[in-house]
Amino acid sequence: MPDPNSYSGGPMFGDRRTPKAPGDTYMPEVYDPARKILKLDRSVISPLDSLPAQNLHNRMMGWYTHELDSQAQNRIEMAMDDDFFDHIQWTEQELATLQERGQAPIVFNITQTTINWVLGSQRRAPLDFTILPRTKAGQAAAQRKTELLKHIADENRSTFEISAAFGMAVKVGLGWLECGQGRPEEGTQVFDRHEDWRAMLWDSTSRRYDLLDSRYLFRTKWLDSDVAETLWPHRAGTLRMAANSTLLGIYDGDDLGDEAMDSQEASHFSTFTGTASRRGFGSVRQRVRVIEAWFKMPVPDALLIQGGQFSGEMFDEWSPGHWSEVKNGIATLVARPREVIHVALMTDAGLLDLRRSPYRHNRYPFTPVWGYRRARDGMPYGMIRGIRDVQRDLNKRGSKALHHLSSTRVTMEEGAVDDVENLRNEAGRPDAVIVYKASKPAPMVHVDTNIAAAHIELMDRDASMIREIGGITNENLGRPTTAKSGVAIARLQDQGALSTSLFFENLRQSRQIHGEKLVVLTEMYYDKREEFLITDTRGNPDFKVINDGATENDIASFKARFVISEEDWRATARAAQAEQLLDLGGKLAATAPQIVVSILDLIVEAMDVPNGSEIVKRIRQLTGVDDPDADPNNPDPETVAKKQAASEQAQLSQRQLMAALKEMEAKARKTAAEAAKAEASITSDGIAQLKAAFEAAIAIAGAPAVAAAADQILMEASKAEARAVASSQPPQGSMQPPAPEQPPIDPAQAAIPPQQPPAM
């Protein structure tokens, strides 16, 4: 819009990136030697007043007035939707009727509560974004662009601007986001803000969400004449022809706007107290309507980049990335007919400025955020449109119920009282004293509460219907319901959230389109060295530098891609999912606790807890789990150092384990050798002695288990003896002396366990 932030010194006034077009130089500057200044030669006719310029102006004004007429009815409906949210739910005619009837125009604005739930859901879980490179060499530059766009968002307070546009989409069906070249001395080099739907008109034949099939787009704004002449001094005559003299108390508008567009203007100048006139202050304020038209014009010799990462873009002579790829043969310049975005600033009296769009993305700087769109003609509408009639009926029922409860009817014969109006007022009081003539019957006072009860019952139904139509149930609002179990409540909450999911999906798409334009603008206007500050989630400051000569900090030489990373906006659904994860973790803990430890960070990450990111970070440090969102091609140095230390510790632990294993194997071999030696020393006499000892133990204990164990031991001993005999059997023909006879074992002594094991 023609304000200092966008145009005074910006892309509309000789910016070095602005392509030259008719209207850049309006009147030649001539040196005046007497006054030693440059002055405009007003004898030269401005190109903006030439016949082609006049034909273009007539065409633009024709498009504008056509859209103003074709969208007029829907814009009236949108304005009514806005009013319903702001408690303005009675028309002027209805208010006059109620006043005549003595009925209170009360408002029970359940609509606002319904809308606020949706708006609050968006604010609780805003969208986030990241920048991805188009080529491997641009990975570090993409990271810097992510940080730069975070800085731009902080400087422009983009979170609040996006919420404002989303609120318009929910309420009336359409919000707008705008981005463009800003003024560095007043903030950032790229601005990011929302625009009111009342100031916008677009090509009504367009059906695409991003308006790429739209031929034109208009924005209007009222300016004071002295401000407009300061912005366009070379077109002062045109501005004065289009100006309106607005006397305080009298709004003298034109036919180039509608009630929605000019309601603020009319409201401001219709307020008249007479103070300025009584004190002799000036009361005349000159105002002019300026129309900003963005439109597509076919250009036969448009230069495009073909090949390389910037393929398809309009060639920008100030872009180092474009020149580098053309110079190195990666990309080539192609002259091809194409529709190129142009911009014109005008009044109904003539053009103020005309040129090609200064932005090389060749798209409109405005991005719509749609609510619902009517299939018949593509006109937008929001949530309020469907519940507006029910809300109006609710108000009328409440007003009538109150009127019936606070009103009385009196029947009497003519002449029963002297003053009927006094009787009317007295009958309405709870302490009424009615004086009537003795010759006449007493006046009969009637109070009918049955009608009021019927209206109140219908009010309850209307209130329930508003929540049902809007999709925001009592479960979503946290109110008592008929659902008893937590699972039933969670399912009803999820159903309510799904009914409003279209608005959040549209916001995601608009953020994607808007972000792609912002990336191009950063590549255009951040081409010098700059240091900026960003803060992390805990508010810690961190200073970043771009375009300092290092390749990884070069913003303009690498193309990047804008990607939305979305957290689930449904708070109740997120809570239900976190609860399911906790239940799953509890079930796995009984059988596989190691799995619970490995997914503990994901469970906490899904929960809405204070300092959740810091808790997740510490859990991953303890468990050694990698961050799934980290860039594998550009790892964090701290993470690399930790992995290297963990690898070295693992190698040390493995060497220690191998040494311990070798020591255990040596001990096992030694033990096996000693066991073989002991096994070979067992003789048949030893077996007999063992047998006698076991028999004595069985006789004393009488335990079958002892007998079974004894049989097993004797069997193993017999096998060992056989192996020993076989190994010690002399060759055939040799003589072996018989073994000496052993004395028998006393059973009583065998039953007493020895204090020390017998030597083998």
DSSP string covering 395-407: HHHHHHHHHHHT-
Q: Which helix (H) or strand (E) holds 220?
A: strand 216-224
CA atoms within 13 A on the CB side of 523: 30
CB 339, CB 304: distance < 8 Å = no
Residues 6+ positions from 498 with CB-CB distance below 8 Å: 471
Which residue from 165, 167, 188 is spatially nearest to 178, judged by alpha carbons? 165
pLDDT value of residue 266: 78
Most distant CA pair in the chain, distance: 164
∠643-645-649 over CA atoms, to 5°? 115
Dihedral pair phi/psi, residue 530, rounded to 5°: -155, 140
Q: Which two tokens stand for residue 97?
A: 């009727």
Those residues of the chain that have pLDDT short of 50 are 1-32, 35-43, 247-250, 568-572, 728, 730-760
32: three-class secondary structure by DSSP: strand
The torsion of the CA quartet 654, 660, 664, 667, rounded to 10 degrees, works out to 150
Going 649 to 650 to 653 to 659, the CA torsion angle's sign is negative
Q: Which of 244, 459, 488, 446 is nearest to 348 (CA)?
A: 244
Rounded to two decimals, the pTM is: 0.68
CA distance 287 to 309: 48
Helix (H) or strand (E) holding 693: helix 684-701
Residue 620 sits at φ, ψ, to 5 deg, of -70, -30
Residue type, 672: A
Q: How far apart are the first and last CA of the chain?
A: 107
> Which tokens belong to 258?
């509608």
Task: Retrieve residue 27's tokens.
Answer: 């009147």
Cβ–Cβ under 8 Å, residues 546 and 151:
no
**Tally of CA atoms within 13 A in the half-sphere of 177 that contains its CB:** 34
Which of left, alpha, beta for 190 (phi over 0: left; psi -120 to 50: alpha)? beta
- Report the run of H or E that residue 242 belongs to, with start and end: helix 236-242
8 Å CB contact between 310 and 316: no
pLDDT of residue 714: 56
Q: Which of 333, 331, 323 is nearest to 303 (CA)?
A: 333
- At 416 the three-state DSSP class reads coil
How far apart, in whole angstroms, are the C-alpha atoms of residue 290 and residue 256?
Answer: 10
Rounded to 5 degrees, what angle do the CA atoms 578, 581, 587 make?
145
**Angle, CA of 328, 313 and 9, to the nearest 5°:** 105
Dig out the tokens for 73 from the structure. 């009815």
Rounded to 5 degrees, φ, ψ at 622 are -75, -40
Q: Where are the alpha helices (DSSP H) in 611-683?
A: 612-623, 637-680
What pLDDT was estimated at residue 733? 45
Single-letter amino acid code for the residue at 105: P
The helix/strand/coil state of 380 is strand
pLDDT value of position 74? 95
Residue type present at position 291: I
Q: Give the amino acid at 129.
A: F
For position 755, what pLDDT does the model report? Answer: 43
Amino acid at site 716? E
Give the number of other CB atoms < 10 A from CB of residue 105.
Answer: 14
Q: For residue 611, which of 536, 543, 535, 534 has the smallest C-alpha distance?
A: 536
The Cα–Cα gap between 368 and 366 comes to 7
Best CA proximity match to 181, nearest among 12, 381, 300: 12
Cα→Cα distances 234→15, 39, 315, 626, 652, Å: 17, 11, 31, 63, 81
- How much is the CA Rg of the chain, to the nearest whole Å? 45
Query: What's the pLDDT score for residue 741?
Result: 46
**Would you state the pLDDT for residue 742?**
45
- Per-residue pLDDT, 689: 59
User: How far lies 340's CA from each of 306, 335, 470, 517, in Å?
Assistant: 17, 13, 42, 16
Is residue 734 helix, strand or coil?
coil
Report pLDDT for 428.
64
Amino acid at 121: S
Q: Which residues pair with 533 in a beta bridge?
A: 543
User: How many angstroms separate the CA atoms of 47 and 747, rounded?
Assistant: 135
**pLDDT at 365 (0 to 100):** 95
Check residue 648 and give its pLDDT.
80
Rounded to 10°, the helix 501-525/139-156 angle is 110
Count CB atoms within 10 A of the CB of residue 411.
10
Question: Coil, helix or strand for 321?
Answer: helix
Half-sphere exposure of 597 (CA within 13 A, CB side): 8
Q: Answer whether 7's CB lies under 8 Å from 228's CB.
A: no
Q: According to the model, what pLDDT value does residue 195 have?
A: 95
Query: In angstroms, rounded to a whole number, what is the distance separating the alpha carbons of residues 84 and 385?
Result: 10
Whether the Cβ atoms of residue 555 and residue 547 lie closer than 8 Å to each other: yes
Instruction: Retrieve residue 618's tokens.
Output: 């510490």
Residue 43: C-alpha distances to residues 26, 28, 30, 551 (Å): 11, 10, 11, 53
**Cα–Cα distance for residue pair 696/379, rounded to 1 Å:** 106
Backbone angles phi, psi at 370, to 5 degrees: -85, 150
- Alpha helix ranges (H) inside 309-382: 320-327
Provide the CB-side half-sphere exposure for 646 (13 A, CA): 12
Q: Residue 690 corresponds to which tokens in the numbers above?
A: 């063992």
For residue 697, what are its two tokens? 């133990």
